[in-house]
C-alpha cells in the first residue's frame, strides 16, 4: 500500500507541473461525487407511498396533514408539504407555490453537478497541455544537441510527457460516468415532482369545485324558486 502511494507520488513528479492541478481536480471531483451519492441516497422515495399519502390527504377532510410515517424527507415530500400548507389558497396560487418549490428542489438536485462537468472537461485539456509542454522540452534537448541525442533519453522524455494525458483521461472518464448517473437521477426525480404535483392540484381542484357548488346550492332557500314564480305570475 505504501509502495503504491510512493510510486504515485513519483509519477506525479515525473509528469511535470500540470500533474498538480490535475490531482487537485481529482480530489474535488471525488468529494463532490461522495456528497451527491449521500444526498441522493437520503432523497430516495417510494412512489407508491407518496401516492398513498396524497390519497389519504385528499380523503381525510378533517385533518389535512401529511403522515410522516408514509413518506421520507425527499424532494417530492417537501413539495407535498408546501401543497398542504397552501391547500386553502386559490388554485392559481397553489400551482404557483408548487412550481416555485419544484424549481428550488431541482436546483438542489443539480447542486455541484456543474462543477463535475467542468472538471470532466478541463482534466483532459490540462493533461494535453502537460504533454505538449513535455514534448517541447524533449525536442528542445534534441535541438541543443543538434540531433546527437540518445534515443532512449528522448523516449524517456516523451514517456514522462504522456503521463499528464493519461492522468487527465483517467480522471475524466469516471467523472463522466458518474455525471451521467446523477443526471438520470435528477431527470427521474423531476418527472416525479411534475407527476405528483399535478396529481395533488387535480384532486384539490376537484374538491374545491365540489365545495363551491355545494355552497352555492345550500345558499338558495327551499322556497325561493316558488316565490320567484309567484312574483312573475
What are the tens digits of pLDDT across the range 27-64? Answer: 999 999 999 999 998 888 776 777 676 667 666 654 45
**Reported confidence tier of residue 153, pLDDT bands at 50, 70, 90:** low
Q: SS3 sequence, the chain?
A: CHHHHHHHHHHHHHHCCCHHHHHHHHHHHHHHHHHHHHHHHHCCCCHHHHHHHHHHHHHCCCCCCCCCCCCCCCHHHHHHHHHHHCCCCCHHHHHHHHHHHHHHHHHHHCCCHHHHHHHHHHHHHHHHHHHHHHHHHHHHHHHHCCCCCCHHHHHHHHHHHHHHHHHHHHHHHHHHHHHHHHHHHHHHHHHHHHHHHHHHHHHHHHHHHHHHHHHHHHCCCCCHHHHHHHHHC
Higher pLDDT, 149 or 39: 39
Q: Find out whether 71 and 97 touch, Cβ atoms under 8 Å.
A: no
HSE-up of 174 (CA within 13 Å, CB side)? Answer: 12
Q: Is the pLDDT of residue 188 over 80?
A: yes
Q: Which three cell numbers stand for residue 116?
A: 463535475
Q: Would you place residue 26 in the very low, low, confident or very high pLDDT band (cuts 50, 70, 90)? A: very high
Computed over every residue of the chain, the mean pLDDT equals: 75
Q: What is the pLDDT of residues 93-114, one digit of tens each?
A: 888 888 888 888 889 999 999 9
Report the range out of 98-107, 118-127, 142-151 with the highest average pLDDT: 118-127
Annotated domain spans of the chain: 2-43+87-208
pLDDT at residue number 222: 42
pLDDT of residue 230: 41
Say how far apart CA 73 and CA 44 lie, in whole Å.
9
Query: What local confidence, expressed as pLDDT, does residue 214 receive?
Result: 46
The pLDDT value given to residue 58: 63
* Cβ–Cβ under 8 Å, residues 31 and 176: no
Q: Which of 51, 106, 59 is nearest to 80 (CA)?
A: 51
Threshold 0.85, pTM exceeds: no
Which of the pair, 180 or 160, is modelled with greater confidence?
180
Q: What is the pLDDT of residue 5?
A: 43
Amino acid at each position: 500500500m505504501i509502495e503504491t502511494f510512493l510510486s504515485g507520488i513519483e509519477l506525479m513528479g515525473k509528469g511535470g507541473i500540470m500533474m498538480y492541478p490535475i490531482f487537485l481536480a481529482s480530489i474535488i471531483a471525488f468529494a463532490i461525487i461522495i456528497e451527491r451519492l449521500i444526498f441522493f441516497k437520503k432523497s430516495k422515495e417510494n412512489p407508491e407511498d407518496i401516492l398513498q399519502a396524497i390519497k389519504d390527504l385528499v380523503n381525510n377532510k378533517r385533518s389535512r396533514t401529511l403522515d410522516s410515517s408514509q413518506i421520507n424527507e425527499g424532494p417530492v415530500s417537501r413539495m407535498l408539504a408546501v401543497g398542504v400548507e397552501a391547500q386553502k389558497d386559490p388554485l392559481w396560487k397553489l400551482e404557483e407555490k408548487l412550481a416555485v418549490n419544484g424549481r428550488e428542489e431541482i436546483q438542489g438536485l443539480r447542486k455541484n453537478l456543474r462543477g463535475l462537468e467542468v472538471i470532466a472537461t478541463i482534466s483532459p485539456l490540462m493533461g494535453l497541455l502537460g504533454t505538449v509542454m513535455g514534448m517541447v522540452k524533449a525536442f528542445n534537448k534534441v535541438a541543443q544537441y543538434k540531433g546527437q541525442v540518445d534515443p532512449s533519453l528522448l523516449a524517456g522524455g516523451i514517456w514522462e510527457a504522456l503521463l499528464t494525458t493519461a492522468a487527465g483521461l483517467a480522471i475524466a472518464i469516471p467523472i463522466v460516468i458518474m455525471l451521467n448517473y446523477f443526471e438520470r437521477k435528477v431527470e427521474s426525480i423531476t418527472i416525479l415532482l411534475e407527476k405528483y404535483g399535478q396529481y395533488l392540484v387535480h384532486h384539490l381542484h376537484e374538491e374545491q369545485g365540489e365545495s363551491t357548488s355545494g355552497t352555492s346550492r345550500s345558499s338558495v332557500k327551499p322556497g325561493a324558486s316558488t316565490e320567484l314564480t309567484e312574483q312573475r305570475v
